[in-house]
Amino acid sequence: MNKNLRQRKIRELVENQEVSGQQELLLLLEQADIRVAQATLSRDFADMGIVRTRNAGGYRLVMPEEASDDIIRGLVGMEVLSVKSNETSIIIRTLPGRAHGVGSFLDRLRSNEILGTIAGDDTVLVIPSTIKQISSIKSYIQKSLSQP
């Protein structure tokens, strides 16, 4: 399995589920037809900045914000196929099933130039705060999604 694809799935699981540790993550990956050795998973954790932290319910794997921004940007950028615009809006085409993650990433940027996003399966509609700045918003999005 490709390292980038494996790490993308790991990120998705860690961010969207309460995963308590490496053994649980190994089982979740296996359920997704991704077979990985524990040593490889440990290296992925180090690469991605994943840490195990304690919360009220026990332990949980997390990606610290300060360590994950560049990794997330690179992974989300790999999910984007195109960024196009017209006079009123911006459309981002993604890999199938990845629009929600891309839209969520853009929402977390908290840009004043973007009113919001609407995500389907493979398309994100970006609603600008003003149509006068479509070109600059499109450039901002492309820069934000580019590899670090």
1 vs 80, more confident: 80
Which residues are paired to 84 by β-bridges?
Answer: 91
Mind listing the pLDDT tens digit for each residue in 69-108?
Answer: 555 666 677 889 999 999 999 999 999 988 888 888 888 8
CA atoms within 13 A on the CB side of 15: 17
Q: In the CATH scheme, what is the code of domain 68-145?
A: 3.30.1360.40
The segment(s) of the chain belonging to CATH 1.10.10.10 are 3-63
Give the mean pLDDT of 106-130: 91
pLDDT band with cut points at 50, 70 and 90 for residue 67 = very low
Fold observed for domain 3-63? Arc Repressor Mutant, subunit A (1.10.10)
Please provide the DSSP assignment of 69-116 as one string: HHHHHHHHHHHEEEEEE-SS-EEEEESTT-HHHHHHHHHHH--TTEEE
Structure-token pair, residue 108 = 């977390």
| pTM as predicted | 0.54
The segment(s) of the chain belonging to CATH 3.30.1360.40 are 68-145
How many helices, marked H, and strands, marked E, lie in the chain? 6, 6
